[in-house]
Amino acid sequence: MWSPDEYLKQLYDSKEQMRVQMLGQQHWRERKGEVRTKLLKALGSLPSGSVSLNPVLLERTEREEYVVERVAFATAEHLRIPAYVLIPKQLEERAPAVLAWHGHGYGSREIVGLQPDGTVDEGEPGIHQHFAVQLVRRGMIVIAPEIIGFGDRRLLADRMKDPKKASSCFALSSRLLLYGQTLAGLRVYEAMRALDYLLSRAEVDPGRIGCMGFSGGGMIAALSAALDDRIQAVVLSAFTSTFRGSLLAMNHCIDNYLPTVLAYADLPELIGLISPRSLFIESGIEDTLFPLASVQEALTALERIYQDEDALERLQADLFPGKHQLSGRKSYDWLAQRLRA
């Protein structure tokens, strides 16, 4: 009788009722601008001032089918980001390019086929499925930035811990809140700067840009694409749901929670800001972090949004046999096709 569960339930119910009333009064295209404004507010203040990228090449390695570069560039004052860039061999013209966002784990190396120490991973790929490698093999240039809080970009206090188990998400999130910032906002901001860098490369076709994110990387892919129209096609893996069905139903990493946003939009509406651009949702039917019923509810909401945008054919989904993992069985080829259209 003393637990606050009912209080939290009533909070959600009251906000949901308000949103339903607004939806009944307005078409999505009428609400879209307001939702975007509220998302920007929820992300908190972002780094100010213009900082040159100042990119540098750290290393370059030849693989059988592609070249791997490790680069670094500035995103804001006192912030630099390392990233792997995978380039198909024998490009004859500008190629489509994809921003690839890893989830919780040991960082960008996990999606480019490397071990935490940078050596080649010869074993079976884990839940990330080395998905950046799968994309470059389909003819796309891929950039895999190291998300702040993971791998080489953890706080110094966390750097001696096992990178497969320890991130700096909680420490960064809680400290940034004191300055009116959110870790999600900083990550989305850096995603846009990573796109600035990607577009500075001569091999990249600026009109054919996509992004793909897994789990927490799905949040970065979704929200950066929602706010940046330069991204034309998006794949979200193991992320799409409603707030009630996932983030409010169980404990997730604190970096997923955005202050005040639920008063104005549920997660499918935030993802819906991508419309009418191309969007592919994939999720494992046995994923306990993003349960199937919640995924299906979110897809229904997204179908309404895309229908209102007269773009339903640009929304695709694959609910595959699996748990909290990336699949790619349909999404890799879908993304390649969309960026070649």
The predicted pLDDT at position 27 comes to 83
- Residue 20 CA to residue 23 CA, distance in Å, equals 5
240, 281 Cβ separation under 8 angstroms: yes
The predicted pLDDT at position 22 comes to 67
pTM of the model: 0.96
The predicted pLDDT at position 110 comes to 97
The predicted pLDDT at position 267 comes to 97
Residue type, 329: R
The predicted pLDDT at position 238 comes to 97
Q: Summarize pLDDT for 229-280 with one digit per residue, the tens.
A: 999 999 999 999 999 999 999 889 999 999 999 888 999 999 999 999 999 9
Q: Convert the chain into a string of H (helix), E (strand) and C (coil).
A: CCCCHHHHHHHHHHHHHHHHHHHHHCCHHHHHHHHHHHHHHHCECCCCCCCCCCCEEEEEEECCCEEEEEEEEEEECCEEEEEEEEEECCCCCCEEEEEEECCCCCCHHHHCCECCCCCECCCCCCCCCCHHHHHHCCCCEEEEECCCCCHHHCCHHHCCCCCCCCCCHHHHHHHHHCCCECHHHHHHHHHHHHHHHHHCCCCEEEEEEEEEEECHHHHHHHHHHHHCCCCCEEEEECCCCCHHHHHCCCCCCHHHCCCCHHHCCCHHHHHHCCCCCEEEEEEECCCCCCCHHHHHHHHHHHHHHHHHCCCHHHEEEEEECCCCCCCCCCHHHHHHHHHHC
Q: Summarize pLDDT for 14-50 with one digit per residue, the tens.
A: 888 887 776 666 788 888 999 999 999 999 999 987 8
The predicted pLDDT at position 20 comes to 73
The predicted pLDDT at position 139 comes to 96
The predicted pLDDT at position 143 comes to 98
The parts of the chain modelled with pLDDT lower than 50 are: none
